[in-house]
Amino acid sequence: MNSNTQLAPDLKLIAPWHLRAFPNREWILVVVLLFECAIFSLSGDNFLTRSNAFEITRLSVEVGLLALALTPVIITGGIDLSVGSMMGLSAVVLGSLWRDGHWPMSLAIFAVLVLGLIGGALNGLLIARIGLPPLIVTLGTFSLFRGIAEGLTRGIENYSGFPPNFLFLGQGYLGHLVPTQLVVLIVGIVICAWYLHRTAFGRTLYAIGQSPEGSRYAGIPVGRNLFAVYLSSGLAASISAVIYVAHLGQAKSDAGTGFELMAITAVVLGGASIFGGRGTVLGTVLGLFAIVVLQNGLRLSRQPAELAGILTGGLLLITLVLNRLATFAGGQSRVNTGAEELDVRNSQVAVLSGVILLAALVVAGSNWLLVRSIQHGPQNERPINSSSKSNHRIQVAMMPKAKGDPYFVSCRLGAEEAAKELGIDLLWDGPTDLDPAKQNEVVEAWITKGVDVIAVSVENQAGISTVLRKAREKGIKVLTWDADAERNARDFLINQATPQGIGYTLTDEAARILGNKGEFAVITASLSAANQNEWIKFIRARLAEKYPDLKLVTVQPSEGDRDRAFSETQTVLKVYPNVKLIMAIAAPAVPGAAEAVKQAGRTDVKVTGLSLPNMNKPYVKDGVVESIVLWNTTDLGYLTVYAAQALISGQLKQGDHELVAGRLGKIEVVDDEVRLGAPFIFNKENIDRFDF
Amino acid sequence: MNRHSFISRNKRELSVALSYLVLLVLVALLAPTFFHPANLRDLAVNNASVLIVACGMTLVILTGEIDISVGSQFAICTYAAGLLAKSGLPLVVLILTVVLIGAVMGAVGGLLVARLGIPSIVATLALMVIWRDALRWGSEGAWIQGLPQNFQWFGLGQTYGEVLVVVAALIVFAAIAWSLHRLGAGRFFYAVGSDAEAARLAGIDSQFVKHNAFVIMGALTGLAALLNAIRFSIVPGNAGIGLELKAIAAVVVGGTAITGGRGTVTGTLIGVALLGTIGPALTFVGINSFWEKAIQGTIILAAVVSDVLMTRLSTRRQYRLAN
């Protein structure tokens, strides 16, 4: 149906240059990219700099490799949803072989690549041999690979401390400018483009995508070629995982979560037809950069991360609709031959001109709002490390672990209150989903943007420390709050409570409620959540040390979902009838557990845990939730911004013992920690005094 | 041949039912307390909204399309239900509005897929991100509290409320099962999914049927979101994470062909039950929940592989018989 877009050799002789260079209308994306660059160079700080250009490419390598491997897959009319999960599996296998198996790094990498091939072979076998639909097969292996990764590590294991020469692969620069892994991406692009566009094998993939049956009759080994395609996609996933591990400096079972969707988006945005038979490597690369530049530009223009998702989705839909309309227009006249060739081209040119105009309008329209809001904003563009600090308002960039989490929403209130009092520009941005690499990307963007202070609530300690150290090298002050990075990666930690303090307080509270003996169960966030695992470790330690008659019988995941916490609690209550206390240690899990206990009518069971007062008020008043343990999160945000200001103005330095923070008064400083105070226990008596 | 017709006609559903039975027997041997009435009731209530969404998904998949934006639609409908309930709308208006919101979101997907001819997996992928991020942007993760008394269980109390939720899901299931097999409009879904072009030549408006599948899917998602929301007294800012995969997996395990044109909601019902049982069953049996995802993946793969092998076996037998 799209045969005109793949040029037959003889057509090449008469095809105009723009059809030869862009056989699949990729130039629309070039226009989009140029527009993005034009808009963001106006609205973003330091967007059009050489270092930013290379930083953008660094961030796109992992997804880029997946997208390259998915291009042939999609051209054959298939899909591979399992690549992100394969990354997770490869990452933990790499980590365990190197750390626990004491394999040399090179051998471990080799083994992981073989693992990728095995995973790809499994997909290929089921799809090419048995003839199952790719969507379903890879949906199954999507769960399977991630499940094995979680099962092997029990979700907890986080491998880090990799040798520097390995980390160089993901963090280093060639000639102080070019990120190392960019070389891998370029090699990948060249190989992929060569095979797809310059070999007979590549041409057969298009034929298979057009019609597998027809290809078989034409003598193409359809099964074998399909097998090879899925094999290479498994291999690409494991290569991508190696780079990912080197980039973040850590290997965990959640590596690459959601990467498959980004890769597919890039490929489809690049003009590949999901039905098969159409697509180019050039298109994929342009599609990839269109997305990555959009995300990077929005960050530098201090727009919320959610907008990037909405615009990416919108861009994808608009490109598809326009492409579709253009194909309709071209397709109807394609049946005619010879004399009307000129008409065809004219009508196509007309449609394409319309497409550019529309795309331009869309991009311009969506960005017009941006530019306006930025121009009306308080800050102006300024260079990195400007020497005249007195002239501009201090920019403090603050990152939560997850933006939508009610815990962090309440922190933000305090942070904004403090920023207003001090006349500081506060940037608040962070991941909207559970992708562990997202925090690094945001910090990279802030370094490029040239903020004064970066304050991070750290999700992945080993992963983010390298990039925080880089920020400090560039003269940016770094704070951590809520959860710490490695000590030499930040100036101060705003410490609301140590993991030990939280674990011990929770255990003591459990002991108080249960009268020092009995069984209890823990509902955690996800099984791979780093913080929660740390707390559980200290809960167990406290039990062993002080409460021999108190027993933790099971730990169940809630995935940060209230409804999941609800059903897990129901099950726990039935399987462990002696459990008299549910300890939920994720904010949404406490109300979920409370509702389950309430609906089960188990008045003998109490709920406690770590959560926010507001969402638990009804349950605390009912008496279902006995107490919740937390610090004042609004104060935590407030204190962080005050500490940032004090750090810039020199009021806070190593060796200080106290810090005066607005309405909080004097706050204790110990070594390199600013301490908010001990965790607080909210109960029926005091909970009404708090509103967050 | 007539003697075998029931078995051969329903062999996919029967094979899933058989695997489910094996699972239940295993659980019965290892953890008999699983079959306590209270547990079965909780399982039914917890999976009611998944069943409704999966029924809608069956329709979409029968026409040869797919909708991966249902999780995000579910989140928006949940949030909308909370907002509307708080504004004090009468119950009937609330229900209709939430279902309508779902239907409108479904219609957007239907428009893109059926009218503009965009591949459904890509169109709904884009919508999934758009809906979810729009909600995150709008709600900033805030939960809705202070809902009126008659929100939880529609003010019926827990016992009747639970009955209502389960019965509503079963009615949806029965209605779709009946109309798919007994109504002309129901057969259209099969016709379009088997061969959209042939259906068009036979006088069926294929695009209209596909569009309708998406609208029904959206409306059912709205209903499911509402029935799920009323089980609680607070509405979270972000619900339905991973729901699309749950629904699709249930449909596929239930024997519906992902390529369209073949499958039943009865199979989907068994699929929902099977996948909904595994998680709690693992806890009952005492297997660590770390392995849950791996087991789910294996079941999906096993279901499709056995499906294909069985089809091959039966065609070979027919071939032998013919010769």
pLDDT tens track, chain B, 323 positions? 455 567 777 777 888 888 899 989 999 999 999 999 999 999 999 999 999 999 999 999 999 999 999 999 999 999 999 999 999 889 899 999 999 999 999 999 999 999 888 889 889 989 998 999 899 888 877 888 888 888 899 888 899 999 999 999 999 999 999 999 999 889 999 999 999 889 989 999 999 999 999 999 999 999 999 999 999 988 988 888 889 989 999 999 998 988 889 999 999 999 999 999 988 998 898 887 778 888 888 888 888 888 777 777 777 777 676 65
Q: Please indicate whether, in this complex, the C-beta atoms of B38 and A265 are within 8 angstroms of each other.
A: no
Q: Please indicate whether, in this complex, the C-beta atoms of A316 and B126 are within 8 angstroms of each other.
A: yes
* pLDDT for A4 beyond 50: no
Task: Return the pLDDT at A335.
Answer: 38
CA angle A525, A526, A529 (to 5 degrees): 90
Task: Return the pLDDT at A214.
Answer: 93
Q: Please indicate whether, in this complex, the C-beta atoms of A309 and B132 are within 8 angstroms of each other.
A: yes
Contact assessment for residue A473 and residue A465, using Cβ atoms and an 8 Å cutoff: no
* pLDDT for A271 beyond 80: yes
Determine, yes or no, domain membership for B311.
yes
Tell me the chain B residues in contact with residue A140 when contact means C-beta distances shorter than 8 Å. Answer: 297-298, 300-301, 304
Give the chain B residue whose CA is nearest to the CA of A617: B145
Please write down the HEC assignment for all residues of A19-82. HHHCCCCCHHHHHHHHHHHHHHHHHCCCCCCHHHHHHHHHHHHHHHHHHHHHHHHHHCCCCCCC
Question: Token match 């003009």: residue?
Answer: A271
A362 pLDDT tier (thresholds 50, 70, 90): low
Provide mean pLDDT across the span A315-328. Answer: 78
Q: Give how far the C-alpha of residue A523 lies from the chain's centroid of Cα atoms, to the nearest Å.
A: 24
Determine, yes or no, domain membership for B52.
yes
Nearest in space to A643 (alpha carbons), one of A521, A520, A501, A494: A494
CA angle B237, A571, A407 (to 5 degrees): 25
Cα separation values, A200 from A194, A195, A206, A228, A262, Å: 10, 8, 10, 14, 29
Helix ranges (DSSP H) in chain B: 5-9, 11-30, 37-62, 70-86, 91-110, 120-139, 158-182, 184-194, 196-201, 206-229, 243-253, 265-285, 292-322
Determine, yes or no, domain membership for B71.
yes
User: Range with the lowest mean pLDDT among A304-313, A410-419, B151-160?
Assistant: A304-313
Please state, as a whole number, how many other Cβ atoms lie within 10 Å of the Cβ of residue A30.
Answer: 15
Interface of A with B in 220-279 (CB under 8 A): 261, 264-265, 268, 273-275
| Joined tokens for residue A108 | 């471990």
Contact assessment for residue B255 and residue B307, using Cβ atoms and an 8 Å cutoff: yes
Determine, yes or no, domain membership for B7.
no
Give the chain B residue whose CA is nearest to the CA of A412: B140
- Among candidates A142, A147, A408 on the partner chain, residue whose Cβ is nearest the Cβ of B295: A147
Tell me the chain A residues in contact with residue B280 when contact means C-beta distances shorter than 8 Å. Answer: 567, 571
Amino acid, res. B104: V
Question: Token match 């709002």: residue?
Answer: A369
Contact assessment for residue A627 and residue A682, using Cβ atoms and an 8 Å cutoff: yes
A368 pLDDT tier (thresholds 50, 70, 90): low
Q: By three-state DSSP, how is residue A536 classified?
A: helix
Q: Please indicate whether, in this complex, the C-beta atoms of B258 and A313 are within 8 angstroms of each other.
A: no
Tell me the chain A residues in contact with residue B123 when contact means C-beta distances shorter than 8 Å. Answer: 317, 320
Q: Please indicate whether, in this complex, the C-beta atoms of A143 and B296 are within 8 angstroms of each other.
A: yes
CA angle A381, A383, A387 (to 5 degrees): 120
Task: Return the pLDDT at A353.
Answer: 55
Q: For the packed helices A27-43 and A305-334, what is the interaxial angle rounded to 10 degrees?
A: 150
- Among candidates A141, A314, A567 on the partner chain, residue whose Cβ is nearest the Cβ of B130: A314
Q: What's the rounded Cα separation, in Å, for the pair A624 and A586?
A: 17
Give the chain B residue whose CA is nearest to the CA of A78: B121
Q: What's the rounded Cα separation, in Å, for the pair A240 and A33?
A: 25
A249 pLDDT tier (thresholds 50, 70, 90): confident
Q: Please indicate whether, in this complex, the C-beta atoms of B122 and A264 are within 8 angstroms of each other.
A: yes
Q: Give how far the C-alpha of residue A104 lies from the chain's centroid of Cα atoms, to the nearest Å.
A: 30
How many domains does chain B divide into? Answer: 1
Contacts with A216 (C-beta within 8 Å, 6 or more apart), sequence order: A222
**Residues spanned by the domain of B261:** 34-322
Q: Which of A153, A599, A625 to mutate to test the interface with B (most CBs of B within 10 A)?
A: A599
Give the chain B residue whose CA is nearest to the CA of A593: B232
Q: Using alpha carbons only, how large is chain A's radius of gyration in Å?
A: 28
Distance from CA of A296 to the nearest CA of B (A): 17
Please state, as a whole number, how many other Cβ atoms lie within 10 Å of the Cβ of residue B33.
Answer: 11
Give the chain B residue whose CA is nearest to the CA of A596: B232
Q: Write phi, then psi, for B144 (nearest 5 degrees).
A: -100, 120
Determine, yes or no, domain membership for B282.
yes
Nearest in space to A429 (alpha carbons), one of B162, B211, B140: B140
Tell me the chain B residues in contact with residue A268 when contact means C-beta distances shorter than 8 Å. Answer: 122
Give the chain A residue whose CA is nearest to the CA of B289: A556
Distance from CA of B238 to the nearest CA of A (A): 8
Task: Return the pLDDT at A492.
Answer: 92
Task: Return the pLDDT at A139.
Answer: 87
Q: Would you call A331 an interface residue with chain B, using a CB distance cutoff of 8 Å? A: no
A29 pLDDT tier (thresholds 50, 70, 90): confident
Task: Return the pLDDT at A45.
Answer: 81
Q: Mean pLDDT, chain A, as a whole number?
A: 85
Cα separation values, B141 from A426, A433, A508, A691, B236, Å: 19, 12, 31, 16, 8
Distance from CA of B270 to the nearest CA of A (A): 18
Q: Please indicate whether, in this complex, the C-beta atoms of A600 and B297 are within 8 angstroms of each other.
A: no
Contact assessment for residue A61 and residue A259, using Cβ atoms and an 8 Å cutoff: no
Task: Return the pLDDT at B7.
Answer: 73
Task: Return the pLDDT at A94.
Answer: 96
Distance from CA of B1 to the nearest CA of A (A): 28
Determine, yes or no, domain membership for B5.
no
Q: Which of A144, A322, A556 to mutate to test the interface with B (most CBs of B within 10 A)?
A: A144
The β-bridge relationship of strands A395-399 and A453-456 is parallel
Tell me the chain A residues in contact with residue B115 when contact means C-beta distances shorter than 8 Å. Answer: none
Q: Please indicate whether, in this complex, the C-beta atoms of A404 and B127 are within 8 angstroms of each other.
A: no
Task: Return the pLDDT at B12.
Answer: 79
* pLDDT for A364 beyond 80: no
Determine, yes or no, domain membership for B75.
yes
Q: Give how far the C-alpha of residue A495 lies from the chain's centroid of Cα atoms, to the nearest Å.
A: 25
Determine, yes or no, domain membership for B27.
no
Give the chain A residue whose CA is nearest to the CA of B45: A567
Q: By three-state DSSP, how is residue A190 classified?
A: helix
Q: Please indicate whether, in this complex, the C-beta atoms of A139 and B248 are within 8 angstroms of each other.
A: yes
Provide mean pLDDT across the span A567-578. Answer: 92
* pLDDT for A389 beyond 50: no
Q: Please indicate whether, in this complex, the C-beta atoms of A570 and B308 are within 8 angstroms of each other.
A: no
Provide mean pLDDT across the span A423-432. Answer: 87
User: Range with the lowest mean pLDDT among A212-226, A238-252, A346-360?
Assistant: A346-360
Q: What's the rounded Cα separation, in Å, for the pair B174 and B168?
A: 10
Task: Return the pLDDT at B77.
Answer: 97
Q: CB-side exposure of A456: number of CA atoms within 13 Å?
A: 32
Task: Give one word for A385, left, alpha or beta, with left for phi > 0 and alpha for psi -120 to 50.
Answer: left
A61 pLDDT tier (thresholds 50, 70, 90): very high
Q: What's the rounded Cα separation, in Å, for the pair A122 and A231?
A: 8
* pLDDT for A384 beyond 90: no
Does ipTM top 0.90?
A: no
Nearest in space to B43 (alpha carbons), one of B169, B178, B157, B154: B169
| Joined tokens for residue A572 | 């726990």
Q: Please indicate whether, in this complex, the C-beta atoms of A571 and B283 are within 8 angstroms of each other.
A: yes
Q: Write phi, then psi, for A242 (nearest 5 degrees).
A: -60, -45
Q: Please indicate whether, in this complex, the C-beta atoms of B46 and A567 are within 8 angstroms of each other.
A: yes
- The CATH number covering residue B316 comes to 1.10.3470
CA dihedral angle for residue B8, residue B12, residue B17, residue B19, rounded to 10 degrees: 110
A340 pLDDT tier (thresholds 50, 70, 90): very low
Tell me the per-residue pLDDT of A583-623, one tens digit each, with 9 for 90 and over. Answer: 999 888 999 999 999 999 999 999 999 998 888 988 999 89
Tell me the per-residue pLDDT of B127-141, one tens digit each, with 9 for 90 and over. Answer: 998 999 899 888 877
A125 pLDDT tier (thresholds 50, 70, 90): very high
Q: What's the rounded Cα separation, in Å, for the pair A397 and A418?
A: 13
Tell me the per-residue pLDDT of A475-524, one tens digit each, with 9 for 90 and over. Answer: 999 999 988 888 889 999 998 877 888 899 999 999 999 999 999 999 99
Percent of chain A with pLDDT over 70: 88
Contacts with A264 (C-beta within 8 Å, 6 or more apart), sequence order: A67, A70, A74, A79, B122, B125
Tell me the chain B residues in contact with residue A253 when contact means C-beta distances shorter than 8 Å. Answer: none
Q: Please indicate whether, in this complex, the C-beta atoms of A274 and B239 are within 8 angstroms of each other.
A: no
Contact assessment for residue A285 and residue A189, using Cβ atoms and an 8 Å cutoff: yes
Q: Write phi, then psi, for A554 (nearest 5 degrees).
A: -160, 155
